[in-house]
């Protein structure tokens, strides 16, 4: 596995990564409810292909409120727990520093430095 890179901590891509690094599993709806963003799949694609993060997608199906009784298939994004442990071993304190930087950004507190070097 190549060593992944961190996106800027003040971006939606960074906010998506922070949630995955804490061990959470996210659907589009979960992310939209927390960030008001409608583009989680785009951020996941960037994290996978541009930044090298090993994010898995588990497909789920649920019935919609559509009067036809239609089912919808959607993805639940995660980093497998054993892979997350390995990433923490390789990246050491960078993971926790990144999580804290994103949380500071989300809380509106000033950042000491914009962690992550990417453009998104």
Residue-wise pLDDT tens digits, 27-43: 999 999 999 998 999 99
Residues near 102 by beta carbon (within 8 Å), at least 6 away in sequence: 9, 10, 14, 15, 17, 18
Tell me: pLDDT of 118 over 60: no
Q: Which CATH number fits domain 12-107: 1.20.140, 1.20.120, 1.10.10, 1.10.3470?
A: 1.10.10
Task: Report residue 86 as tokens.
Answer: 């390995």
Residue-wise pLDDT tens digits, 5-17: 999 999 999 999 9
Contact 73, 81 (CB under 8 A): no
CA angle 6, 100, 111 (to 5 degrees): 85
pTM of the predicted model as reported, rounded to 2 decimal places: 0.86
Average pLDDT, the chain: 92
Residue-wise pLDDT tens digits, 68-100: 989 999 999 999 999 999 999 999 999 999 999
């Amino acid at each position: 596995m190549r060593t992944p890179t961190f996106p800027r901590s003040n971006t939606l891509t960074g906010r998506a990564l922070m949630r995955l690094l804490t061990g959470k599993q996210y659907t589009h709806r979960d992310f939209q409810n927390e960030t008001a963003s409608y583009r989680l799949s785009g951020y996941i694609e960037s994290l996978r292909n541009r930044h090298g993060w090993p994010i898995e997608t588990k497909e789920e199906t649920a019935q919609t409120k559509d009067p036809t009784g239609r089912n919808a298939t959607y993805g639940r994004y995660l980093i497998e727990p054993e892979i997350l442990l390995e990433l923490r071993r390789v990246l050491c304190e960078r993971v926790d520093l990144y999580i804290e930087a994103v949380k500071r950004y989300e809380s509106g507190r000033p950042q000491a430095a914009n962690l992550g070097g990417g453009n998104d």
